[in-house]
Amino acid sequence: MKKVTFGVITLLSAVLMLAGAASAHVTVWPKEVKQGSYEVFTVRVPSEEEGTTTVGVRVTIPESVNITRVEPKAGWTHEFERRADETISSVSWTAEGDGLEKTEFTEFRLSGRVNDNAETIVWKAYQTYSDGKVVEWIGAPDADKPASVVTAVPGTGESDGHGHGQGSTVEEAAGSADGNAPAGQTESAEGETAGGAADDTAAAAEGTESLAGSESSDSSLPLVLSIAALVLAAAALVTALVNGRRRA
């Protein structure tokens, strides 16, 4: 009887640990974008390792997205790697201090344009810890360390709803993304019109709402797994008790 009970507890603990791990991946948001649209992508990085901290994050930029700007992040520096055509191929962030503890996470934001023919956008990330360990988030969706995947769907073909038509330049895309900076951030020295600022504010609100919805869907997975684990454990415990009484 004791062996059965111990087995049930072990099974429950294992499933709960898997539920926690399912929500601790490096991910990129939003999970769905429109082809040809200008977007602000958020890279969410949780720190997972015990006794060490996350001190670096490198994200490779898919060729189906043209990233042009990065939002400054307090306590972190960033640098670009570029392809032969000068487009950004990766962004690396490095902590200026101790980095992220196991119970902490942070977010980095990128702005740019989704290609007109983009479909499945795969973001590969490399997370560096202070002890030198590098975790590669580059696997398939069902892998232990999956790359984050964003789906591009057909757009309107005229405008992305952020005040930019298909004929807009990449620099205009970056200008749109600047409107998503934290409240109180000063206007760019390049100068943006009041109308453009209003459009950008609306875009930021829209992006925040979309991200919140995606977060809600993603964060429900650990809860579902936890409930399933509790149900299985309860059923196993009842079965063990019944069998024990029969033997008695």
Q: Where are the domains of the chain?
A: 2-247
Quickly count: other Cβ atoms within 10 Å of residue 112's Cβ: 23
Coil, helix or strand at residue 47 = coil
Residue at 24: amino acid letter: A
Residue 23: φ, ψ to 5°: -100, 5
Strand order in the sheet with 65-70: 27-29, 38-46, 105-114, 65-70
* pTM confidence score: 0.62
The reply to whether CATH 2.60.40.2230 applies to domain 2-247 is yes
Q: What is the pLDDT along the chain (248 residues), one digit of tens a residue?
A: 555 444 544 444 444 444 444 457 999 999 999 999 999 999 999 999 999 999 999 999 999 999 999 999 999 999 999 999 999 999 999 999 999 999 999 999 999 999 999 999 999 999 999 999 999 999 999 999 999 999 999 986 443 444 344 433 334 434 433 433 333 333 333 433 344 444 444 444 454 454 444 444 444 445 555 566 666 666 666 666 666 666 65
